[in-house]
Structures are given as structure tokens and as C-alpha cells.
Chains A and B, each alone.
Chain A
């Protein structure tokens, strides 16, 4: 039992957090709980919810398109995450080099796409990928190569989207890795040099181990982001051709807002939540083997 005095003392604290708490309750907690309830119902948005129990979750087993979108999402994630992180790491290493002139300019240049609206970026790349008349096909034809239908080919559409996503998403991991690099004591490199360690050896024995906490954070956030990709797909391909770029969230959007199956869409959202949580927990377990906190 709290004494009257302690309750009285805690009132100002509660008042301070109240605006945020109310905001979270109204705009996060309530929608989340509503979504959980909706996932056990059939609801088209117009009428009343009809309780269906686990039917929405069982329906996923027979949903061919869902499995296709899961495969596509995995494909997208498995390619995009390593590609983004490797390029971001290389750029961070370059931008961390004191001998590089105009480092500030390059840091800004690489970070700019990340803070640019994804719709605007997607529309620009949509034009770049235009068959025959787009810049990419024109460049290819300049070198005597024949262009392909980048966004309407079942083979090329996903790589084309991944290229855009990688370019767009480079800035954030690069910045995190750069800050990680700048936290590594210079003395370690000097001592290694004195001992005759080559540049690759310094990279693999000093830089990467000490950068592993930053890399770990970047990997987790990148995986979460790639599982939730939507904007680029919505603008550039609408999941086509023939569902070749139809990813989990785009399918969820279609089920909910196009087909009006909000119950099923909510169930999809909760399954994705569980998938992401599971992947994150596995990563947290595995980090002990490779993340070095110094």
C-alpha cells in the first residue's frame, strides 16, 4: 500500500508523462489491441465484426499468394540487407578516411537519398527504368547493349526494385557505421602498425570486431525494414508482374484496403509481427558469438 504522501509525491510525475502516455494509448495501444481483436473476426469495414476464431489464421495455409509474397519478401530481405550493409560499410570506411577530400560532402551526398521521400525516389527510378526511352536503356544502347523491360519482366523486376531500395537505404546504416568507426580508439591502429599489421589485417582484427555492435544494430533494423517494404513496391510495380515483386506488406494492404478483408489483413499483420520478433530473438541469441562489446 502506497502512503498518501508517496501518492501525492508521484502526482507531478504522472502529470508529466500523461500527454505521452495518453498519446501512446490512443494512437498505438488502442489500434494494436483493436487489430488483435479484428484478426479473430471477419470485418469489411462497413458493418459489424463477426467472430470467426482462428479461421483467418487457418486461411493462410491455403493462400497461394501469401506464400509467394513470403518467398518474395525473403528474397528481397536476403539480398537487400547484405548488399546495403556491405556497401554502407565500404562507404563508411571511405568517409572515415582523414585523407579523403570533401568528406562532409560525400557523407551528405550518400545520406540524402535516405531523407528523400520514397515516393519521389520511386517515381524518378520508374522513369529511369522506362524501356527504350529511360536513361538506363539509353546508356545500355550507347554501349551497344539491348535493354530489358526492367519493371515488367518477371526475372528483372525484383532485382530492379532491390537496386533502388539499396540506393535509397544506404545512408542510414552508413551513418551508424561511421559513428561506430569514429568510436574506435586510434591508438589501437597505431600499435598494430608498429607491430607490422597490414591494412587488411587491421580491418579484420581491429575494425570489424570493434564495429560489431554497430553492425549488429544495423542488421536488426535493416531486416525489420526489409520485411516491411511497401512504398517502393506500391509506386514502381504494384507487386507485378505476375506477383514477382508482391511482398508481404503489399499483399496485406491489398487484402485490407482493396478487398476489404480487414480481419484477414490483421491476422497477416500479427503473423508478420511474430516472424519479425522470432528473427530478432534468434539474432539476439546469436550475437553472443560474434558481437564484441569491448
Chain B
């Protein structure tokens, strides 16, 4: 009898263990209560404190702008405790699904259309009209980037980090390599020129790599577009054009930098935390493709040598896909007008000057963008190149299923980067699946 009781107790205990462990798993997928679905209140702002959610970054430009905003209007902007970029999509969906979302949220520029289509972002047109926001003060292609097919203004881009080439000027001189052009031109700065420079800079005995591009996923759009293709996605957002001939060639060229020419570190090294920054600052990297958002970091940390910025190398074209700094007002925010008022300030000349002074990013505000100058006597000497970069910006075409598409093709592409497969093999194999995901909007 006692034996039976013990066995039953143990069973119950083990069953409970399994159930409890699984319960946590199940609970993790519940999202809390539904949003209240409250309608927008007044279209004009009040003086209430607003909250803002952003991912963690070393950039203080927006907090600085918030301080200026408080000085000007008396309105306090509370910044929610940030999470890393990698965790931000989790935070984003969680806070927006609750009943009390922040009034302003940072949005990954790749997913604006998707979040807007899902109903997560407020249409700002009402506030643009009521608060007399002058869109002509903002660079047109940045303003239009967040306009949706139905005319809704889902967000505002307050600035842009153009993707450029950072290069170690001291290393170039020491190895007798011609410097990249100082202006936005691809004269003597085609892919072959870039590769030739990378080969001369590479010194395996001393652990020096000539180039690194695969650290920043902006390579997809930038290099496939510059090779004459449509970029990652077709203009209507329904086709996976990275798998076109031009895209395949471009991706294979990038993979060959590592696996054929050995002028780019192995993919495993590139994936290491802060590898691009640490290799560049320790003078183990000659050229780095990344966004201008790294300028303040390198100004602070790459002080033992001279470095500068240059345009991305051209091929059929010479454009760059910048990383836009986009903020939006959640559809269920209770203070949409207040949130938009701050957003409008972030797009103003006054805020733009703060971004320029801190070398944070190139402002969307046209007047402020004109203030971007070179940094005579310190790196990067050709900081003013960023103005040209904005003019040569060609963003990835938007889709309603960018995340779903990326989930299919980006893991597969890792076999290209590590040399296990060719770009053609991988992109051919995933093309139909990505097209299907794009066609049905990722659902």
C-alpha cells in the first residue's frame, strides 16, 4: 500500500514537473490583454510628459534633442530603459500590445511598412495638418520613405546614417595604396579597385585584414543595386530580386572576399561581438563598410591613427542604402498629438543642429543637413561626404513581409558566407519560398 502511494506520488510529482515546465513555455506566448483601441484625442499637443522607447546605442543625439525640447516647451520626454537592438523587436511588440504603449517609438526602418500594415502605427497625417508640419523642410526621399501605399504617414525619418567605407588612412599610406576618392565618384573606385586595395592592405602574418563588408546587412541592398539589379526586393515588394542574376553576382563577390581572396575575415570572426569596431580601432582592418553611426565611436576610440570615410565602391551604379533613423507614434498611444509634436521637433532645424554638432547622423531637416561639414584637423576629414551620401541614398524597396522573408533567406545565406555553398545555389533554392512569403504578406 505504502509502495503504491509512493509511486503515485512520484508520478504526480513528475507530471507536475512536466506541466509546470511547459506552463512557463505556454505562458511565454501569451501577450496580455488586448489594446483598448482608443481613438486619437485632440490633434494639438498638451504639456503632458511623454514616453519614448528606443534601443540602446551610444548616440546621445535624441536625448540631447529631448533636453532642448523640454527647455523650449516645458514638456518632459521620459526614455524607457533601453534594450539592445537584437531584443528590440520583442520589446516593441510587447509594449505596443499593452494598453499603455509609449507615445513615441523607434522603428527599424526595414519594418515600418509591416508594422503599419499590422495596425501598430498611427497615421500621422491628421497631426501633420493640425500642427502645420512643413514637409518641405525635410529631405523628400526621407519623408516619402515612411509614406505607405494608402497615403498614411506611418512614421517620420528624423535622419539617416548613410552606409559608407571607413578606411585607415595611415595604413593606406604606409602600404602605398592609393586613397579612395574624396568625393562621391566611382572613378578608379569600382569593385575591382576596392579588391585591389584590400589585397594590398591584407597582411595575414600580422592579422591584418584588408576589408570587412559582411558585418552590416546593408550590403544586400547596396551591392545588389549597384550591380544593376533591383536590390533586395522588387519595387512592388512582391518579388525577391536579390535572387536575380545581379544580386547573385554581388553576393558571390562579397563571399569571395573571404573565401577566395582572403581579404575579409572568416564569417565566424565577423560575427564576434564588436569585431568590426575592435579590429578597426586596433588597426587590424583597412576598410570597413558600415553606417556613419560609427563616426562618434571611432572619433573617441580610433585616435592612434588617421582614418577617413569614402563612398562605397561603384559598379554599374554607385548608391548606398542608408540606415534611416525612424520614429513613430503607436496607434494605441493615449497622447498621439503630444508624441507627434516631439517627432516634429526631432525633424526641426534646431534638433538637426544638435545631430550635426555631435556627428550623430545626417538630419532629415534640409537646412540642418547643409551644416554638415568636414572636420579639418581631425578624423574623418571628409565628413561632409555624408551630404553626398544622402543624395545617393537608395533604400530597399518596402514589403509587408520583410521579416518573414529575412527569416527564410538570411539563415540560408550563412552557408554562402562560410563557403559551404555558392550564392547561386542558395538564392535559387530559397527564391520561391521568399516570393511566396512576400506575395501573401508574411501571413
Contacts and interface: CB of A to CB of B under 8 A. Distances in A.
A293 B268 contact: no
B268 A277 contact: no
B25 A249 contact: yes
Contacts of B271: 151-152
Contacts of A207: none
A153 B418 contact: yes
Interface residues on A, range: 35 or more
A46 B96 contact: yes
Interface string A13-50: 00000000000000110111011101000111111110
B29 A262 contact: yes
Contacts of B1: none
Contact of A45 (B21, B97, B207, B414): B97
Interface stretch (B30-38, B172-180, B387-395): B30-38
Contacts of A32: 23, 26-27, 30
Contacts of A166: none
Nearest to A248: B25
A210 to B, nearest CB: 15
B272 A154 contact: no
21 contacts: A27-B27, A34-B31, A34-B32, A35-B26, A38-B30, A47-B35, A49-B34, A131-B268, A131-B269, A133-B207, A152-B266, A152-B268, A152-B418, A224-B22, A225-B21, A239-B411, A242-B411, A258-B407, A260-B403, A262-B31, A293-B3
Contact of A240 (B3, B94, B414): B414
Contacts of B37: 48
Interface in B1-59: 3, 6-7, 10-11, 14-15, 17-19, 21-23, 25-32, 34-35, 37
Interface string B402-443: 011001100111110110100000000000010000000011
A277 B22 CA distance: 9
A212 interface: no
B233 interface: no
A111 interface: no
A32 B22 CA distance: 10
A273 interface: yes
Interface in A112-150: 123, 126-127, 129-133, 149-150
A261 B440 CA distance: 14
Contact of A38 (B3, B17, B29): B29
A254 interface: yes
B268 A151 contact: yes
A224 B115 CA distance: 35
A266 B14 contact: no
Nearest to B418: A152
Interface of A: 27-28, 30-32, 34-36, 38, 42-49, 64-65, 123, 126-127, 129-133, 149-154, 213, 217, 220-221, 224-225, 228, 239-243, 246, 249, 252-254, 256-262, 265-266, 268-270, 272-273, 276-277, 280, 284, 293
Interface in B109-143: 114-115, 118-120
Interface residues of B, number: 61
A277 to B, nearest CB: 6
A208 B238 CA distance: 61
Contacts of B415: 154, 241-242
Nearest to A137: B268
A269 B35 contact: no
B189 interface: no
Contacts of B269: 130-133
Given A38-B30, A258-B403, A280 B18 contact: yes
B331 interface: yes
A49 B35 CA distance: 11
Contacts of A36: 26
Most buried by B among A30, A130, A239, A257: A257
Nearest to A28: B23
A280 B89 CA distance: 34
Contacts of A280: 14-15, 18
A270 B207 CA distance: 50
A34 B97 CA distance: 14
Shortest 4 CB-CB distances between A and B: which pairs?
A: A241-B414, A31-B27, A45-B97, A31-B30
Determine which residue in A126, A129, A149 has the highest number of CB atoms from chain B within 10 A of its CB, and name it. A149
Given A46-B118, A46-B119, A65-B407, A241 B418 contact: yes
